[in-house]
Amino acid sequence: MTLLDGWTLGEHSADGTSYPTYRKGSGPGVIVIHEIPGLTPAVIRFAEEVVAAGFTVVLPHLFGTPEAPYGPRSLLSTIPRVCVSREFTTMATGQTSPIAGWLRSLARTLHEELGGPGVGALGMCFTGGFALAMMVDTSVAAPVLAQPSLPFAAGRRRAADLNLSPDDLATVKQRAAAGCAVLGLRYENDMATGTRFDTLTREIGDAFIRVEFPGRKHSTLTEHRQQEGVDRVLAFFAERLVG
């Protein structure tokens, strides 16, 4: 028996791009986007908690080997591939990663099927900022950024960048001003997240719910799990998605 037994394997296509998806649960929709190196056991266990809290969870499989454990081997086999992929903007500032279009389409499809106020979107680490880019689409009502790390925080400008184009940032600010809150989680001395939490606070103000934990660890919901962080995420989804 594997960790993904009980999850329904599917596929979503948009603009000529297709990725596998895994789905489980009932209730409002939540898209959980895995971190590097992929759909690790810790990511799947977190997703199971979201299912148990009363949500329909969709796990896109964007890279890596499903269920491969987090470790040097899986990291070394994944990082070089994603860093050269055209779908992900890893170094440029003021740009939205192309994968955001596919993720927005997935969110719209899930919302159209399930209804309600919208769907949740959670990204972590490499994909952390993708939930913010998905917020451009009104189908996303509960974006969560767990230790967003793109573009890589090499230099002051990249460390502050939100991995959004100017137009997308303007839309995010409009939606935030209209009441769409953004939840962010990180360890306060995590260098990978740079200063983008300060950027978020400056750009969207009180709409940014900033949750920071002491220390230099990284993966708030998985490998370096903080139970308070998990509880805050589940409460945020319940507040924003259960109509």
How would you label 59-68 residue by residue, b for 16+ Cβ within 10 Å and e otherwise? bbbbbbebeb
Residue-wise pLDDT for 194-234, tens only, equals: 999 999 999 999 999 999 999 999 999 999 999 999 999 99
Q: For position 11, what pLDDT does the model report?
A: 98
Angle at 133 between CA 130 and CA 139, to 5 degrees: 105
Q: For position 75, what pLDDT does the model report?
A: 87
Model pTM?
0.97
- Cα–Cα dist 162/171, whole Å: 13
Strand bridging mode 17-24 / 29-33:
unpaired
Give the percent of the chain with pLDDT over 70: 99
Q: For position 1, what pLDDT does the model report?
A: 65
> Do the beta carbons of residue 41 and residue 4 sit within 8 Å?
no
Question: What Rg, from alpha-carbon coordinates, does the chain have?
Answer: 16
Domains observed in the chain: 8-241 (3.40.50.1820)
The enclosing H or E element of 114 equals: helix 99-114
pLDDT under 50: residue ranges of the chain: none
Q: For position 80, what pLDDT does the model report?
A: 87
Ranges of beta strands (E only) in the chain are 8-14, 17-24, 29-33, 56-60, 119-124, 140-146, 182-187, 208-213
> Do the beta carbons of residue 134 and residue 109 sit within 8 Å?
no
Q: For position 230, what pLDDT does the model report?
A: 98
